[in-house]
């Protein structure tokens, strides 16, 4: 060990962090000091080289927050000599876990104080179990200061050591999944130290079932799904958190071309077969909202059926659907194939409404808290990128690949840029046809719950609106992560939502449902 220290200092005269400041900083103090590393560190502590902030860090952290390999990579800076030096220090400290547990346990400060009062043997034990570890932290801290770019490394940006780096996230091939999907080809997952496989799923029921079975790490879900699955509506109860919103707006009511001369408003849909992607979807709730406001009973005057989005255009072509409220790009694909026209964008029903979300199970989050923060942060970061108009063509190019959306570029580009044909010979320019705002307003959760009650998809006695919003929508965490990536989230968690036919006050969802039924008689 003594020879190693001598070789290390004489060969490079560099700090373990890799910096060149040693001759005028740390190592100028080592001349004539003890060669035994434990005694050496003891003297360095006395001299104040490892100052109170390092010891404070040692007192506040726990060994579980560090992993030996990650630490050695950071502290050694890739140098085999420095790495060997660190390993020898760890050995002298009694082992990595033992050293860090002793140094950073909740009683470290008390241990330090008691040891000072004891004899040389006890003091030496302290040096082995505590100070050597503090020295290691000091080296890592020095490395971070010497290399500012480390702050953008996976460990820094991901919120700590990742419990799991290889993830599988299920998605449906629609533009609503843009932040989740584009984070793979455009490198957002990699930026946060993750290797993510985005797995294309056939339908929303498969996403739900795979989530409950534990076959996926996290999921692209319709915004109502974390509520319905957590509460056991239509499936076994399984706690799921809505971590962030994937997209706002971005849907449309599309009508088969054979009806282009007869459908002008909601009442004209009477007798139609209408497709939505899932019973617990914004699509189902919004089409019901539209039809009821037009005087139709969605459960009696039309037939609403769940249809997997990738099957929707084919079903309309075959005459099995008269209309649909579907995610894009399938509304635009129906126009592209000349089988349907866009009757109304969903933003015209509720500008800024949520659609899809990034979600994960409570059990998975509990087991992988740092990984969960990292992947959510990557997706939130990607949402900000996708929200900028100048980035939309590049995003469209990434999405059209076969393993992702597998759609023609003009179709996806039309959705993302908002410059599109509506199927009736008109070219429209609606830049906010789809938006990517990750903030999960708690008023979203309450509106969704209110409509689940209104349409008998959730018993009224289960509608604990505040509890649903607070327990399932991770609004505060999303805001925290938005700030960390330079975004400016709202300061409020809920707001009055303005829809086409009314306004929703999240302070009294039950009264809103009563007013809807009274106003529209359904």
How many angstroms separate the CA atoms of 251 and 257, rounded?
18
Mapping DSSP to helix (H, G, I), strand (E, B) and coil, where does residue 80 land? helix
Q: What is the DSSP letter of 429?
A: E
What is the strand order of the sheet 340-345 is part of?
Answer: 303-306, 273-276, 323-327, 251-256, 340-345
Separation of CA 266 from chain center: 37
pLDDT in tens, 473-497: 999 999 999 999 999 999 999 999 9
What is the rounded distance in angstroms from the CA atom of residue 501 to the CA atom of residue 499?
6
Rounded Cα–Cα distance for residues 334 and 313 (Å): 6
Strands 427-429 and 419-421, sheet pairing = antiparallel
Is the peptide bond prior to 329 cis by the omega test (within 30 degrees of 0)? yes
Of the candidates 109, 73, 365, the one whose C-alpha atom is nearest the C-alpha of residue 244 is 365
The pLDDT value recorded for residue 71 is 60
Euclidean distance between CA atoms 98 and 493, whole angstroms:
44
Q: Are 243 and 360 in contact (CB under 8 A)?
A: yes
Q: Which pLDDT does position 138 carry in this prediction? A: 56
- Bridge partners (DSSP) of residue 249 are 434
Q: How many CB atoms lie within 10 A of CB 12?
A: 16
- Cβ-based neighbour number of residue 441 at 10 Å: 24
pLDDT value of position 46: 53
- The CA distances from residue 76 to 14, 41, 65, 136, in Å, are 11, 18, 19, 10
Predicted confidence (pLDDT) per residue in 63-82, tens digit? 334 445 656 666 666 666 66
pTM: 0.72
Angle at Cα 415 formed by Cα 472 and Cα 494, nearest 5°? 30
pLDDT at 98 (0 to 100):
53
Query: Measuring CA to CA, how many Å separate 24 from each of 4, 11, 13, 425, 516?
Result: 22, 16, 10, 75, 75
pLDDT of the residue at 42: 57
Q: Is residue 206 a contact partner of residue 172, using CB atoms and an 8 Å limit? A: no
CB 132 within 8 A of CB 38: yes
Q: Which residues of the chain have pLDDT under 50?
A: 1-33, 51-67, 99, 101-102, 104-123, 126, 141, 143-157, 159
Integer Cα distance of 115 and 152 in angstroms: 39
Homologous superfamily of 166-247+354-407+428-520:
Periplasmic binding protein-like II (3.40.190.10)
What confidence score (pLDDT) does residue 124 get? 54
pLDDT of 493 reads 98
Q: Where in the chain is the domain with CATH 3.40.190.10?
A: 166-247+354-407+428-520, 251-347
Write out the two tokens for 506: 């999240």
Burial of 270 (0-12, 13-18, 19+ CB in 10 A): middle
Homologous superfamily in CATH for domain 251-347? Periplasmic binding protein-like II (3.40.190.10)
* Residue whose entry in the numeric block shows the structure tokens 């726990």: 62
pLDDT value at position 143?
46
**DSSP 8-state symbol, 130:** I
pLDDT score for 428: 98
Q: What is the SS3 string spanning 372-421?
A: HHHHHHHHHHHHHHHHCHHHHHHHHHHHCCCCCCCCCHHHHHHHHHCEEE
Q: How far apart are CA 145 and CA 151, in angstroms?
A: 9
Residue 133 CA to chain centroid, in angstroms?
34
**Contact (CB, 8 A) for 377 and 481:** yes
In this predicted structure, what is the pLDDT of residue 160? 61
Closest Cα to residue 364, out of 513, 215, 470, 478?
215
Contact between 352 and 249 under an 8 Å Cβ cutoff? The reply is yes
Q: How many CA atoms lie within 13 A of 289 on its CB side?
A: 28
């Amino acid at each position: 060990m003594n020879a190693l220290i001598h070789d290390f200092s004489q060969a490079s005269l560099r700090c373990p962090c890799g910096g060149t400041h040693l001759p005028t900083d740390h190592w100028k103090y080592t001349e004539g000091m003890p060669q035994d590393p434990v005694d050496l560190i003891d003297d360095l502590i006395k001299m104040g080289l490892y100052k109170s902030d390092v010891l404070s860090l040692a007192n506040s952290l726990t060994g579980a927050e560090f992993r030996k390999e990650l630490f050695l990579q950071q502290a050694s800076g890739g140098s085999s000599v420095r790495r060997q030096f660190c390993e020898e220090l760890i050995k002298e400290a009694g082992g990595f876990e033992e050293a860090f547990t002793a140094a950073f346990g909740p009683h470290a400060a008390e241990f330090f104080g008691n040891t000072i009062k004891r004899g040389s043997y006890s003091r030496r034990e302290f040096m082995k179990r505590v100070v050597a570890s503090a020295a290691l932290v000091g080296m890592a801290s020095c490395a971070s200061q010497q290399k500012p770019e480390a702050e953008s490394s996976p460990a820094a940006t991901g919120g700590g050591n990742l419990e799991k780096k290889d993830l599988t996230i299920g998605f449906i091939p629609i533009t609503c999944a843009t932040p989740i999907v584009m984070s793979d080809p455009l490198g957002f997952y990699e930026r946060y130290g993750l290797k993510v496989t985005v797995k294309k799923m056939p339908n929303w029921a498969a996403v739900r079932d795979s989530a409950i079975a534990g076959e996926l790490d996290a999921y692209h879900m319709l915004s109502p799904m974390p509520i319905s699955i957590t509460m056991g509506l239509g499936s076994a109860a399984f706690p799921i958190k809505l971590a962030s919103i994937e997209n706002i707006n971005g849907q449309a009511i599309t009508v088969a071309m054979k009806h282009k001369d007869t459908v002008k408003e909601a009442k004209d849909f009477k007798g139609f077969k209408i497709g939505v992607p899932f019973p617990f979807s914004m699509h189902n709730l919004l089409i019901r909202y539209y039809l009821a406001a037009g005087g139709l009973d969605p459960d009696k005057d039309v037939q609403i059926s769940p249809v997997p989005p990738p099957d929707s255009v084919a079903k309309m072509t075959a005459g099995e659907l008269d209309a649909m409220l579907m995610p894009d790009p399938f509304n635009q694909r129906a126009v592209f194939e000349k089988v349907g026209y866009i009757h109304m964008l969903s933003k015209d029903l509720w500008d800024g409404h949520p659609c899809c979300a990034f979600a994960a199970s409570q059990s998975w989050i509990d087991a992988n808290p740092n990984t969960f923060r990292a992947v959510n942060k990557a997706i939130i970061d990607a949402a900000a990128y996708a929200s900028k108009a100048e980035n939309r063509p590049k995003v469209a190019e990434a999405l059209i690949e076969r393993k992702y959306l597998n759609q023609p570029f003009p179709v996806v580009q039309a959705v993302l840029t908002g410059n599109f044909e509506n199927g009736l010979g008109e070219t429209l320019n609606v830049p906010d046809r789809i938006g990517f705002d990750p903030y999960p307003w708690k008023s979203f959760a309450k509106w969704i719950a209110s409509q689940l009650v209104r349409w008998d998809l959730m018993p009224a006695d289960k509608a604990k609106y505040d509890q649903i919003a607070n327990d399932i929508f991770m609004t505060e965490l999303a805001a925290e992560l938005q700030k960390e990536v330079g975004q400016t989230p709202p300061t409020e968690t809920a707001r009055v939502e303005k829809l086409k036919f009314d306004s929703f006050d999240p302070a009294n969802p039950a009264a809103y449902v009563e007013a809807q039924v009274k106003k529209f008689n359904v």
